[in-house]
Amino acid sequence: DTGVSQDPRHKITKRGQNVTFRCDPISEHNRLYWYRQTLGQGPEFLTYFQNEAQLEKSRLLSDRFSAERPKGSFSTLEIQRTEQGDSAMYLCASSPRQGAAYEQYFGPGTRLTVT
């Protein structure tokens, strides 16, 4: 499968615990995005990488959130001291270098439930 993959697909955690999600983009894509989607809403942008550089972060990304893409390939998104409001679907997408506007390819998402 050469699509975007995410792991785990589902995560249930207790409030206050730390969680880490992984995203593997399409191999030749140098741009990687993280989005968050709550029930009944469209996705909201969290952060964006070009290669290993984190170029843009949303104000939604509080200090408890951190994302990395250490070698410009896979990316991790960590949430520390989870809160019930963090319950959402976390989506990763990647896009290729060429073109003025970029089609994004989405992974299946990681559904986080904080109890």
Does residue number 22 form part of the binding site for other proteins (CB under 8 A)?
A: no
Query: Binding of other proteins at residue 54 (CB under 8 A)?
Result: no
Residues 5, 24, 31, 96: which binds other proteins (CB under 8 A)? Answer: 31
DSSP code per residue over the chain: --S-EEE-SEEEE-TT--EEEEEE--TT--EEEEEEE-TTS--EEEEEEETTEEEEE-TT--TTEEEE-TTSS-EEEEESS--GGG-EEEEEEEE-S-SSS---EE---EEEEE-
Minimum Å gap between C-beta 18 and other proteins is 23
Q: Binding to other proteins by residue 48, rule CB under 8 A?
A: yes
Q: Give the one residue of 66, 73, 87, 104 binding other proteins; rule: CB under 8 A.
A: 104
Q: Point out which residues bind other proteins (CB under 8 A).
A: 31, 33, 35, 37, 40-45, 48, 50, 55-56, 58, 89, 91, 93, 95, 100-106, 108-109, 111
